[in-house]
Amino acid sequence: MINERVSNLIVSSGSADAVPSAKYIGYWPMSMWLSPTTWDFLTQVGTAAIDTTNNWITGFTSSAWAVAGTPVKVRATATFPAGLSSTIVYYAGKPTADRLTLHLTEAAALAGTGIVDITSQGTGDVTIYPAFVKDWSGQGNDLLYGDIFDTQVFATFPYMSTISSGSVDGSVGRLPVAALSAQFVWPTDTFLCFFRAKFGTLVAGRSFFGNGVSGASHGPRFNIGSADTSKLNLQVAHAGTVISATSAAEACSITTEHHIALALEGPTGRATVWIDGERDLNIGSLSLSTVAALNFTTDLRLGGVNSTNSHAAGFCDYHVLAWTGSLPSNIDTLMRRIAATRYHRLSASDL
């Protein structure tokens, strides 16, 4: 059983040494949550825990995630401690198990040098959380962690934001569009992604994945179904209009975690959705023949889309790949295996 709070080394074909598929853009096994589901990778302390003489923060003995060199950000509930900023990515130093220092580079954090000077404690509480979700595909595309404007992250501990679902462009993680567009060009390439998700109270029409909104903002989008909130609605926004279809199978639940996969296949001009390893009866082969241009223009989001209607959900085991050409002939077999095996990073022999 792999612990999501550690480095997830055994993630490919049962072997830590297996070469990951070169088709990866990124793989992020870590759990990521948008409220109302709690998340295990943050620590909140009162500002009294800030030692301005030694420039360290105490209260980290049980914080297994906060190891030396981890990129972190800081959020305050009231007056921010002087010397710190909510917009800067710091690197965690760990002089002792219970103490955390902040540094401006990973090298300084590991060496214990260049500690950021904190000149006042501030008031209220301070939350320290990871700035990025590490990419374990070997491609180095760390997932940007948090809301698009980083204004609602951990406003109410231990939740990702103050809202469960609502009119906000919230997200738990974002793949930078530069990394995505560098490897996917329509119609010569194929895009494949999959993840596991469990939802907060289901709200019809709210978005939980993607970046496509309109002809000016291309890409896929998953919404909670309008007529049946247990179903997902796929929308593909492109230069012409928006193609839309709703799944036959249940994909959205507050109690059951579902595995959701999406392929956008340029050479054949179709979209395919698999739910729990099975090709969906409604959107198992959705025609995209009218799509002339499908160029990703914004970051790919989990927990929202490029629009102010994010939905509360928890995600883990998130993979994104792209390559020139079509899906392999054994893709359905591969999807069943992936859905049945948690944290299976695809190897070069898989895809």
The string of pLDDT tens digits covering residues 38-92 is: 445 678 889 899 999 999 999 988 777 788 998 888 888 889 999 999 889 899 9
Per-residue burial over 87-117, b if 16 or more Cβ lie within 10 Å, else e, is: eeebbbbbeeeebbbbbeeeebbeeeebbbe
> pLDDT value at position 121?
95
Between 250 and 37, whose confidence is greater?
Answer: 250
> Is 165 inside a domain boundary?
no
CATH code of the domain in which 227 resides = 2.60.120.200
Cβ–Cβ < 8 Å for 240, 291: yes
Identify the domain containing residue 114 by its residue range. 43-130
Q: Is the pLDDT of residue 279 over 70?
A: yes
> Is 9 inside a domain boundary?
no
Among 327, 222, 217, 334, CA closest to 277: 334
Report the C-alpha gap between 306 and 309 in whole angstroms: 9
Rounded to two decimals, what is the model's pTM? 0.80
> Is 57 inside a domain boundary?
yes
Between 280 and 32, whose confidence is greater?
Answer: 280
> Is 251 inside a domain boundary?
yes
Instruction: Tell me: do 189 and 74 sit in the same domain.
Output: no
Residue 33 binned pLDDT confidence (cut-offs 50, 70, 90): low
Average pLDDT over all residues of the chain: 84
Measured between alpha carbons, how far is residue 234 from residues 132, 238, 273 in Å?
27, 13, 9
Condensed to tens digits (0 to 9), the pLDDT of residues 155-181 reads 455 545 444 556 666 677 889 899 999
Instruction: Tell me: do 336 and 187 sit in the same domain.
Output: yes
The structural domain count of the chain equals: 2
Instruction: Tell me: do 95 and 232 sit in the same domain.
Output: no
